[in-house]
């Protein structure tokens, strides 16, 4: 699919794997992209039907063969749905995690009204995420994912994921 953004940036597919807030500001994101829960061709179709010129895909890339995620975590993602996730407040807003021992403790702290700062400290910040996601430590880490986890059905190569996402839009 070609549009003004893909032409300007000389890209084949308008898919970016990234957290939006670190890539641009809200004005540009609203103008050209849709994000949140895009993990299959239906999400891409919907985004483009609503006028987006690109999509931001995050969680779906975690369960690819090229991903640095621990193998046990990739297997968990295939089994998860968004309804299974632990949700808790922290800085800057909240996190969704595949259930782990640490995320259960963080949910309990949130329910007790513990401050965001204390929850962030207990989560071990980036270290807790690395332990969970990269090392597969389900006791001491957490696994941050989005609602797109519901649409992950298999571990596959990035090329297969992109081919699936863009199946309706090939030139």
Q: Indicate whether 95 belongs to any domain.
A: yes
pLDDT at 30: 45
Which structural domain range is residue 40 located in?
4-62+151-165
- Hey, how many other C-beta atoms are within 10 angstroms of the C-beta on 8? 8
Contact (CB, 8 A) for 123 and 117: no
Are both 128 and 156 inside the same structural domain? no
* Paired tokens of 98: 């595949």
Counting the structural domains of the chain, the total is 2
Q: Indicate whether 93 belongs to any domain.
A: yes
Q: Indicate whether 26 belongs to any domain.
A: yes
Tens-digit pLDDT profile for residues 1-43: 566 556 655 666 555 544 444 445 544 444 455 667 888 999 8
Contact (CB, 8 A) for 32 and 52: yes
pLDDT at 100: 97
Q: Indicate whether 11 belongs to any domain.
A: yes
Are both 115 and 135 inside the same structural domain? yes
DSSP E strands in 30-90: the ranges are: 33-35, 54-56, 86-89
Are both 104 and 130 inside the same structural domain? yes
Q: Indicate whether 110 belongs to any domain.
A: yes
Q: How far apart are CA 141 and CA 157, in angstroms?
A: 25
């Amino acid at each position: 699919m070609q549009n003004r953004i893909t032409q300007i940036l000389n890209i084949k597919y308008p898919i970016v794997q990234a957290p939006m807030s670190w890539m641009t500001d809200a004005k540009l994101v609203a103008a050209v992209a849709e994000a949140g829960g895009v993990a299959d061709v239906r999400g891409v179709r919907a985004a483009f039907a609503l006028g987006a010129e690109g999509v931001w895909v995050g969680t779906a890339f975690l369960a690819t063969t090229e991903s640095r995620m621990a193998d046990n975590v990739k297997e968990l993602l295939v089994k998860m749905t968004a309804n299974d996730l632990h949700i808790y407040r922290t800085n800057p807003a909240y996190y969704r995690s595949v259930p782990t021992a640490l995320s259960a403790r963080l949910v309990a702290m949130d329910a007790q009204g513990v401050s965001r700062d204390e929850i962030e400290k207990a989560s071990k910040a980036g270290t807790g995420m690395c332990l969970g996601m990269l090392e597969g430590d389900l006791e001491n880490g957490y696994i941050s994912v989005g609602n797109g986890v519901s649409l992950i059905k298999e571990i596959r190569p990035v090329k297969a994921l992109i081919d699936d996402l863009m199946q309706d839009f090939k030139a």
